[in-house]
Structure 1
Amino acid sequence: MSQLNWRKSTFSENQANCVEIAAAPDGIRMRESDEPDAVIHTTPAALGVLIGAIKAGRLDHTL
């Protein structure tokens, strides 16, 4: 996976615990910056649904 161009938000440029994403020939890869070997695979469409749900607050839960 070292050949992928991993990117994270400029809002978290100097922060730890950031989600990084990379485009791969067969989809999107995501990982947490503190666990770079734990990589998940998704599609652009599924990532778009996740981002939409986050922006809409549908994943906000109070305990």
Structure 2
Amino acid sequence: MPEQGWQKSSFSGSGNDCAEVRSINGLVELRESDDGDTVVRATSAAFADLLRTIKVGELDWFA
């Protein structure tokens, strides 16, 4: 993952409503492209745990 740039989710369409992620200063940052001022920062381990939690469906009840 590039240190300087945001990487768009492969599941995003062509609009500006997509999730973007980057790695900077040892942290993972996540934002929604249409609200670029709001950024969630986490350690790599915490981000990996979030992805695992999402993939196994543990957060589906929020949808």
**2-structure distance, mates of 1:11, 1:33:** 13
> Could you tell me how far 1:11 is from its partner in structure 2?
2.5
Percent identity, aligned pairs only, is 36
> Which residue is 2:21 aligned to?
21
Is 1:38–2:38 an aligned residue pair? Answer: yes
Code of the aligned partner of 1:60: D
Deviation track 1:7-61 (CA, whole Å, cap 9, x = no partner) reads: 0122314133211101102311111111011112111100111100111000011
Q: Secondary structure at the match of 2:11?
A: helix
With structure 2 as the length reference, what TM-score do the two structures score?
A: 0.80
Pair member with larger Rg:
1
Q: Which runs of 5+ in 2 are unaligned?
A: none
Q: Give the CA RMSD over aligned residues.
A: 2.1
Q: Which runs of 5+ in 1 are unaligned?
A: none
Dislocated runs of 4+, deviation >6 Å: none
Contact 2:28–2:44, Cα closer than 8 Å, also in 1: yes
Q: Secondary structure at the match of 2:53?
A: helix
